Amino acid sequence: MLYHLLFPLHVLFSPLNVFRYVTFRAAGAIITAVAITLWFGPAIIRKLRAMQVGQFIREEGPQAHQSKAGTPTMGGVLILAAMAAATLLWADLTNAYVWVVLLATLAFGGIGFLDDYRKTVQKRSLGLTAREKFSLQVAAAALAGTALVLLAQFGTYHTILQVPFFKNVAPDLGWFYVPFVVLVVVGASNAVNLTDGLDGLAVGSMMIVASTYTIRAYIAGHAIVAGYLNEANIKGSAEVAVFCASMVGACLGFLWYNAHPAEIFIGDTGALALGAAVGLVAAVIKQEILLVLVGGLFVMEALSVILQVASFRLRGKRIFKMAPLHHHFELTGWAESKIVIRFWILCILFSLASLSTLKLR
């Protein structure tokens, strides 16, 4: 909005020319999202407490978590509001990619909100059934994937799959790109949701991943930089960096209240939305496969659950004391804050490793 209101006035007042730069507006989005979460955080926490929207804690989980029962959840509403406001305020709203990622993120947030609402307000401990949740996720991701394929039909996008390290391997998936997007987005959404189990773990990790994708999105949309680094150039995708920056700011501000001991949790409202956001951003900038490395921490958490379930069903034995992985380390005696910080370190290393792949083709 500010871009459309103020940039045209640069002919009258030259300093307003800064609004043409994605980097300036991305910085503005970060500051705005942080300010919104910090300002409205206390009011949201008080409101959720008054509504008795408290977190349900499983009895079979680590006993230390029982003290967290009743902590307000659904804090993802605050994150989504900050992200949406900052994006609408600082992004170029004529850019189709901005709308695709923003609307898809809000859709996944809506799915998470419905799940949280059933668990906390309607007191249905399981929330949405697995089938209901998965079906809604697939539908939302399929719509987003279809939107991208339609953009490809107009020549502003392409459905070619970029394979890291292999310059000459680039299959065009055509309409098969839709189910591929569903796989990426739904997988990322649920992986982040599984990681959301300790104070600040998912939000802090998402802040790191979103920072990485802010850089990646800017590179993908900059023809000269993308060409020099042998990266896919998607015209207009640099604007998605503003959306990613709003995610960084929203997570940073929310971490103020979500740090141990947490005053509020993101709930499925935030976890499903944030995971879907990075998955879809990866698709927009043609870094879908690299998401496995950028989000390596989330992959580890998801794999720990898959391996645990498979091992128990096939061998009758568990690999970990408890899955996801962070609970395993809790039960081995690690303090919660130590696990969170060490997992953040791993997340930073994964992100740096992904940035080191630039120009490697």
DSSP code string of 166-203: -TT---B-GGGHHHHHHHHHHHHHHHHHHHTTSTTHHH
Q: Is residue 361 part of a domain?
A: no
pLDDT of residue 323: 86
Confidence of residue 130 (pLDDT cuts 50, 70, 90): confident
Q: Is residue 157 part of a domain?
A: yes
Reading the block at residue 320, the tokens are 């970990």
pLDDT of residue 66: 54
Region of poorest pLDDT, from 28-32, 171-175, 186-190, 199-203: 171-175
Q: Is residue 155 part of a domain?
A: yes
Average pLDDT, the chain: 89
For residue 334, pLDDT over 60 is answered with: yes
Rounded to the nearest 10 degrees, the angle between the axes of helix 177-195 and helix 201-221 is: 150
Q: How far, CA to CA in Å, does 41 sit from each of 27, 210, 234? A: 21, 21, 36
Q: Which string of b and e fits 62-86 if b means at least 16 CB within 10 Å?
A: beebeebeebbbbbbbbbbbbbbbb
Q: State CA 319 to chain mean position distance.
A: 28
Reading the block at residue 268, the tokens are 């499925």
Say if residues 54 and 70 touch (Cβ distance below 8 Å).
Answer: yes
Distance CA 25, CA 229 (A): 24
Tens-place pLDDT, residues 164-185: 777 677 788 889 999 999 999 9
Whole-model pTM: value is: 0.92
Reading the block at residue 274, the tokens are 């944030």
Q: Which residue has the tokens 């697995």?
A: 130
Contacts (Cβ under 8 Å, ≥6 apart) of 189: 108, 137, 271, 272, 273, 275, 276, 279
Distance CA 109, CA 38 (A): 20
Phi and psi at 320, nearest 5°, equal: -110, 160
Domain that holds residue 248: 2-355
Output DSSP code: residue 156: S
For residue 62, pLDDT over 70 is answered with: no
Stretch 95-99: mean pLDDT = 95
Q: Which residue has the tokens 């739904």?
A: 186
By CB atoms closer than 10 A (0-12, 13-18, 19+), residue 333 is exposed
Region of poorest pLDDT, from 12-16, 209-213, 232-236, 282-286: 12-16
Say if residues 76 and 270 touch (Cβ distance below 8 Å).
Answer: yes
Stretch 186-203: mean pLDDT = 94
Confidence of residue 50 (pLDDT cuts 50, 70, 90): confident
Q: Is residue 41 part of a domain?
A: yes
Confidence of residue 160 (pLDDT cuts 50, 70, 90): confident
Reading the block at residue 242, the tokens are 């503003």
Q: Which residue has the tokens 């705005």?
A: 32
Reading the block at residue 345, the tokens are 């370190």
Reading the block at residue 162, the tokens are 């970029």
How many CB atoms within 10 Å of residue 105?
31
How many CB atoms within 10 Å of residue 35?
15
Confidence of residue 243 (pLDDT cuts 50, 70, 90): very high
Distance CA 312, CA 294 (A): 29
**Helix, coil or strand: residue 69:** coil
The number of folded domains in the chain is: 1
